[in-house]
Amino acid sequence: MENSKAKRQSLTIPVNFEQPLKEPVPLTAFLFMRDGRLVQQVPVEKDAATFKEAPARGLGDVRVFIAPTPKERAFQVTSVADMERLHAYEPLLDLDDKGKLQVLPVPEYLSKWWCFAFCRVRGSVTKNFVMDGMQQNRPVCNARVHICEVDKIWWLLLRIPDEIILRIPEIVLNPELPIPLPHPIPDPSPVEGTADIFGRFQAKAYPKPTSSVLSATAAATISKSAAIHDEVSAAQPRTSATIREAATNIRGDIKQLLLSGNSAQIREVIAQNFYLFHPFFCWLPWIWPYFYRCDEIITVTTDMNGHFDTSIFYWGCGDHPDLYFWVECFIDGVWTTVYKPPVPCHTYWNFACGSEVTINITDPRVRWGCNTVIEGDIVWIKTIGHGASIAHIQQTDLYSIIQNVSFNRIGLSDVSVPHRGNSVGDFRRPFGSQLYFLLQFGSGLPAGGMSYYRWSYRKTRNADLSIATGPLTILNNELFKSYSFEYYDVLMHKHIDYKSFRLGPVTVGSTNDLFIIPPVSPTQAPVNAVEMSPDWDQNTVSVTFDSSKLDDGLYEFILEIFDGAGNKVTGLPRQLFQTPSYSSFAPSVDAPDDNLILSSTTQADAFHMNVRIDNQKCEADIYKILVDGAETSANCCGFVKYQPGSAVELRLRGYHPHNFADFSFVVQKGTCIDPTQTNATNTSGMVIGSTYNGTVENYHRSIASVYSKSFTPATLLGTCAGDGKAAFAESLGVAVLTTDGNEYLELDASALAAFALEPA
């Protein structure tokens, strides 16, 4: 190791510029060993940088870099790789004939970007939540928004391998049109964020490259693309037509250069016309690491309105930053990425400082929140999960006819579940799996007379809705409520973190299994948070339990209030208990009589609700074809022989033990689309009974949940009747209706089969 003073000497590096800087910029010089170890960093003063203890083994053992002082990001340099991020200049160190150090000046193509600019970045994070069957765009609070700056292409182009450069002509001149969407489609789809490349540009002519190599002197040519690149707008919606448009925008002279086979010329044409190539590159993930790279500048946290607002410094005099955003949310105690689309397709090129950025996320794990404080002594019982409004759970017997079968909707919800849309008022969804009830307490609670709460339940009906008499059971799973707070690290960067407060169960006096009513702020008793700016969601998960441990059926859930001594409080003002508005969710309304255990017309002893629990799985089967009532295929090969007058019967089984499922049966003939055949063979409905076309029975359902229908061979063959034979695929999907209040449960079933008709 170089640890001896005798083996070290001072080293002074002169620093000057090809083109003087327009404004003074603080500079730092970095001295590295050839093995990548950082030896020393010193400020550049009086046009020179002096390393007082440089290794004395020779200039060949060290590397020197000159870069703007990275104080705006509190950037900690630790490696040579960091020099690239700072766009540092590495001078060649050489001695002249007299032993004097020779150092070339900093080239203009680098120094022109060595200045800091100030940019305000503000925006909001939202999500379309389904509340009471309606899409409501609401803010996402306490989310981490990571703001990244995307490197300009002219910083990266020199280092892209020739083998990659030489593949560009084929990509651009022979694109697959339309370029298919990635599967699964990212969030959001790339076509929704691709920069609006073309509408914002005016035609510009640039001289053809005069050099066959992309050297430092060609950097001026590269930087010309900045003039074009700077006009690229922020991300705008695009369609696959963008790719077709991109292909038609490649001029003849550009095509000639692309076809030259000369990697240097191809680099030049990409540098000059990168805006033309971006639409192609955006769709090719393997090419992204070569042409796009971003470094995180800052992380900000959204407020209770989902807003963020910050200022950044970035490189470039008169330039504008290219910004990319990704988002994390605190889910189940872990910071979880919920929005991180592909960088090329979702970069805000030439970001307009001060403009509003709206990030709409769709991740189903993100729950609605960001609630403001509600005033007074109120207990607002909101939802099961985060999506099933209490106001949209049927509380009384309500019979209706579905597919000629009587159906009782008591205890069922009409919650809309992602990918399983439901109509408001169509109460068909039971609840299952892990459940929780969401409440919001008003600012007047807790108080001496109302300090604790407790949920209990009892079974009132079996799965078939016959009367049941179950004991009253207390729900006492341990509960915590988390709160966020701010803190500064050793570099004085502000961060957000979380802690939790235990709500219960606790014993108060002689009463067990009570839960603390949380105060409006974690700074208040009994939490007494001392961290900087503590805050929590006004929603409270008031109880959690595993419903799969309960027998299927109808349950009554009861919410009671207790005082500071642990005594149950009765005769409460009935308006204490609130539920969501049926039509708009918010503001809350007084709970209806069906949800109250009343002690008088103006007072209530408790809140209660009827909830149907069901955790059963679906079943799906497709049976062999019957011809005139008999199976004609003794094996599983699926060839079905028929006579001209035969009756060909299709059979399937779509089943749920308590009928809480929908099914869909599709028959596809070869590669044909034959509307006459599909209208006759395809069917769907609830597994509760036979399906109908108007009042005419379509598929008959037996007591064993087997659906069947007979056809003539001509109906099935349709457009293939001339051949007298055809092949068919049968697809059956049975989708459960059960929800946990957020999404449907994975209790579905499916089946797939095939058969071929041929004359006997």
Q: What is the pLDDT of residue 651?
A: 96
Confidence of residue 592 (pLDDT cuts 50, 70, 90): very high
Percent of the chain scoring above 90 in pLDDT: 43
Question: Side chain identity at 77, as an amino acid letter?
Answer: V
Whether the per-residue pLDDT at 208 is higher than 80: the answer is no
Longest pairwise C-alpha distance within the chain: 109
Return d(Cα 291, Cα 24) in angstroms, integer.
Answer: 31
Whether the per-residue pLDDT at 522 is higher than 90: the answer is yes
Q: How confident is the model over 467-484, as a mean pLDDT?
A: 94
**Is 196 in a helix, a strand, or coil?**
coil
Can you point out the beta strands (E) in 676-760?
683-686, 692-693, 696-697, 700-701, 706-711, 726-736, 749-759
CB atoms within 10 A of CB 47: 11
Confidence of residue 156 (pLDDT cuts 50, 70, 90): low
Quick: pLDDT tens for 556-578: 999 999 999 999 999 999 999 99
Confidence of residue 420 (pLDDT cuts 50, 70, 90): low
Q: What is the pLDDT of residue 178?
A: 40
Quick: pLDDT tens for 31-71: 898 888 888 889 898 888 888 877 766 677 788 999 888 65
Q: How confident is the model over 448-470, as a mean pLDDT?
A: 95
Whether the per-residue pLDDT at 506 is higher than 90: the answer is yes
Least confident of 178-192, 369-383, 406-420, 554-568: 178-192
Report pTM: 0.68
DSSP string, 155-190: HHGGGS-HHHHTTHHHHHHS--SSPPPPSSPPSS-G
Confidence of residue 204 (pLDDT cuts 50, 70, 90): very low
Nearest alpha-carbon partner for 84 in 43, 36, 119, 45: 36
Whether the per-residue pLDDT at 225 is higher than 60: the answer is no
Q: Is the dihedral of CA 736, 737, 739, 744 positive or negative?
A: positive
Q: How confident is the model over 503-531, as a mean pLDDT?
A: 95
Return d(Cα 448, Cα 569) in angstroms, integer.
Answer: 11
345: β partners? none
Q: What is the dihedral of CA 233, 238, 240, 244, to 10 degrees?
A: -40
The per-type count for the chain, helices as H runs and strands as E runs, is: 13, 47
Confidence of residue 684 (pLDDT cuts 50, 70, 90): very high
> Which of 237-241, 353-357, 450-454 is the most confident on average?
450-454
Confidence of residue 318 (pLDDT cuts 50, 70, 90): low
Mean pLDDT of the chain: 82
Q: Which residue has the higher pLDDT, 755 or 205?
A: 755
Percent of the chain scoring above 70 in pLDDT: 83
Report phi then psi at 685, rounded to 5: 160, -170
576: Cα within 13 Å, side-chain hemisphere: 24
Q: How confident is the model over 408-419, as a mean pLDDT?
A: 86
Return d(Cα 251, Cα 294) in angstroms, integer.
Answer: 30
Least confident of 236-250, 272-286, 566-580: 236-250
Residue bearing tokens 């105690």: 333
Q: What is the pLDDT of residue 74?
A: 44
Return d(Cα 175, Cα 243) in angstroms, integer.
Answer: 8
Q: What is the pLDDT of residue 104?
A: 87
Q: What is the pLDDT of residue 1?
A: 41
Yes or no: say if 2 and 8 are a contact pair by the CB < 8 Å rule. Answer: yes
Confidence of residue 216 (pLDDT cuts 50, 70, 90): very low
